[in-house]
Amino acid sequence: MTEPPHKVFVQVSPSDRLTPAIPHGNSWTAAGVEVTWSAGEITIGADEISRVALRWDEPVPTEALVLGDAWERSYGDLQWRHLQPERLLPWYWLANNRQTGTTTGMGVDVQPNAFCAWTVDQSGVTLWIDLRNGGGPTQLNGRRLTAAVVRRFDDAGTLWQTLHQAVAAMSSRLPARSEPAPVVGANNWYYAYGEGFDEKAVLQDATTIVELADGHPEKPFSVVDDGWNPGGNGSGGPWETGTPGLFDNLGGTADAIKAIGARPGLWFRPLLSRENGPWARPGRADGSGRALDPTYPEVLDLVRADLRRFSDWGFELVKHDFSTFDLFDRWGLGMGAAMTSPGLQFHDATRTSAEIVLDFYREIRAAVPDVVLIGCNTVGHLAAGLVDVQRTGDDTSGRDWERTRKMGVNSLAFRLPQHNRFFTVDADCVPCTPQTPWELNRQFLDLVARSGTALFVSVDPAARTEQTDRDLSDGIRLALSGGDATGIEPLDWLVNTTPRRWQTSGGVVGYDWSQPWGADPAAD
């Protein structure tokens, strides 16, 4: 059982100092805010609120190594690390006591109504409950909000088993997932990068992935990534037609992919528009459009209509991308404790940022219940149960192997326990391009295929050889069959951010991720 905190602090306005709250049994009050604890469930009542901090005075050993998660994708930065009191640990933390070998921790259930993160120091741990609306306070107006449910994690025998049990505990309230079919296919991004491709190239990709699947009974996907819409690479909607002369009939394109033997998928950026309408967020623009505010009902109407249009065209998978950046004007790596710029708020200031994000994901899920949804640049702890597949790491690369090593291997190693509990994990594509060394990419292919997670390949036709085709076919067929029957486990993840030694059903497999000169710092 999770014991209540020893201290509670309240911040009404982001410019206020944290105010100690006065305890009254299992509730605390300060500055017109009431915080209530009931068997780990935290409820907050207030007119206006920004943050609440819960403190447990439970020392963490000096020699402990600590692990946390990430706000959305990880950026090659997940690792066991020495105590760092200011290090923000989104959603959950584990601490490994190197003297006793035991691992314990705490976290919050998925789909909370607040952005939640932890800090860990020698004197104790603090849960930071961010209840802001963008960069300003939320106007709860007396509403009582269940902000989060706290869990405590006990040692389960090994580091890996403890993280698995922690993830299971945090997702225990989700509906049970039926055994999902493997998600495997082609994605053209890492050789096309949104430039210079048309329906002919897309159908060639579909033919390639079907050839490589070599008659496997599970059909692979063929995903049309960014660049198919009239605005071009990275742009926003409207999403009503394809680029004239390149994609004149997307329904016909989807039908042609199916006729080849693959399942069609489509990328889009739901919260960016090239039209400067009344629902754009103030101050949020880039060269390709204006960010939309999903607290306007009209914006959700647009997103629902887009998704249903894609489904009517015949696409069986939709990848929705960029929404965290379009909501907060920051990538997850730069959100930190501030989340977004001060004063940048949503049209509806009566809901927390987390509530707004959750409602947005729920609307997407409800709009196309039978479509396979991939969330990219989506908040993992909020998207759990609302996407089928989650991109858990930043982009790999068809131009620079170091990005694939840093982002892909790290994401897979440290977030693999989330697989088939929160969602199907997607550590991102395996490139097969002339610019990147196949002897390294083929090892990443083997690891992802064994893991049973989503496997997408970006195969540049110019890079295909008899050897690459054999390797790709072996990996794709293994992934379509569900990967390693007993699962895989990184063995050196306590000391290595991109583990090289992995336990598999057939024994320990070693990978060498190093280029001849080692890691290239210029790649960062």
**Sign of CA pseudo-dihedral 69, 75, 81, 84:** negative
121-160 pLDDT per residue, tens: 999 999 999 999 999 999 999 999 999 999 999 999 999 9
Whole-angstrom distance, CA of residue 448 vs CA of residue 293: 36
**Is 80 exceeded by the pLDDT of residue 178?**
no
Residue 284 binned pLDDT confidence (cut-offs 50, 70, 90): low
13-56 pLDDT per residue, tens: 999 999 999 999 999 999 999 999 999 999 999 999 999 999 99
Between 408 and 516, residue with greater pLDDT: 408
- Tell me the domain boundaries of the chain: 7-170, 184-487
**Is 80 exceeded by the pLDDT of residue 523?**
no
β-strand pairing of 424-426 with 389-391: parallel
Gyration radius of the chain over CA positions: 23
Cα dihedral 267/208/466/454 (nearest 10): 40
Q: Give the residues across from 196 on adjacent strands.
A: none
**Is 70 exceeded by the pLDDT of residue 1?**
no
Angle between helices 297-313 and 250-260 in degrees, nearest 10? 40
Q: Give the residues across from 49 on adjacent strands.
A: 138
Q: In what order do the strands lie in the sheet with 7-11?
A: 19-20, 7-11, 51-56, 124-130, 115-121, 89-90
Whether 127 contacts 4, CB under 8 Å:
no
Pick from 232, 248, 159, 161: nearest CA to 195: 232
357-408 pLDDT per residue, tens: 999 999 999 999 999 999 999 999 999 999 999 999 999 999 999 999 999 9
**Is 60 exceeded by the pLDDT of residue 338?**
yes
Angle between helices 466-480 and 438-451 in degrees, nearest 10? 10
175 torsion bin: left (phi>0), alpha (psi -120 to 50), beta (else): beta
**Is 70 exceeded by the pLDDT of residue 249?**
yes
Percent above pLDDT 90 for the chain:
92
CA 471 from centre of chain: 28
Q: What is the mean pLDDT of residues 190-208?
A: 96
The helix or strand, by DSSP H or E, that contains position 354, with its residue range, turns out to be helix 353-367
The helix or strand, by DSSP H or E, that contains position 119, with its residue range, turns out to be strand 115-121
**Angle CA 134–124–416, to nearest 5:** 65
Cα 276 to Cα 39, 49, 238, 282, 296, distances in angstroms: 48, 32, 11, 11, 15
CA atoms within 13 A on the CB side of 276: 7
Whole-angstrom distance, CA of residue 485 vs CA of residue 179: 14
CA atoms within 13 A on the CB side of 520: 11
Ramachandran angles phi, psi of 254, nearest 5°: -60, -40
Check residue 120 and give its pLDDT.
98
For the 184-487 domain, the top CATH level (class) is: alpha beta
Whole-angstrom distance, CA of residue 341 vs CA of residue 362: 25
3-state secondary structure 198-260: CHHHHHHHHHHHHHHHCCCCCCCEEEECCCCCCCCCCCCECCCCCCCCCCCCHHHHHHHHHHH
Whether 406 contacts 441, CB under 8 Å:
no
Whole-angstrom distance, CA of residue 317 vs CA of residue 171: 24
With 0.85 as the threshold, say if the pTM is over it: yes
Whether 145 contacts 35, CB under 8 Å:
no
Percent above pLDDT 70 for the chain:
98
Check residue 15 and give its pLDDT.
92
**Is 70 exceeded by the pLDDT of residue 285?**
no
Residue 280 binned pLDDT confidence (cut-offs 50, 70, 90): confident
Cα dihedral 176/178/179/182 (nearest 10): -110
442-500 pLDDT per residue, tens: 999 999 999 999 999 999 999 999 999 999 999 999 999 999 988 999 999 999 999 99
**Sign of CA pseudo-dihedral 406, 407, 412, 413:** positive
Pick from 229, 234, 255: nearest CA to 244: 229
| Chain mean pLDDT for the chain | 96
**Is 70 exceeded by the pLDDT of residue 283?**
no
498 torsion bin: left (phi>0), alpha (psi -120 to 50), beta (else): beta
Residue 197 binned pLDDT confidence (cut-offs 50, 70, 90): very high
Q: In this structure, how many other beta carbons lie within 10 angstroms of the beta carbon of residue 524? A: 9
**Is 70 exceeded by the pLDDT of residue 93?**
yes
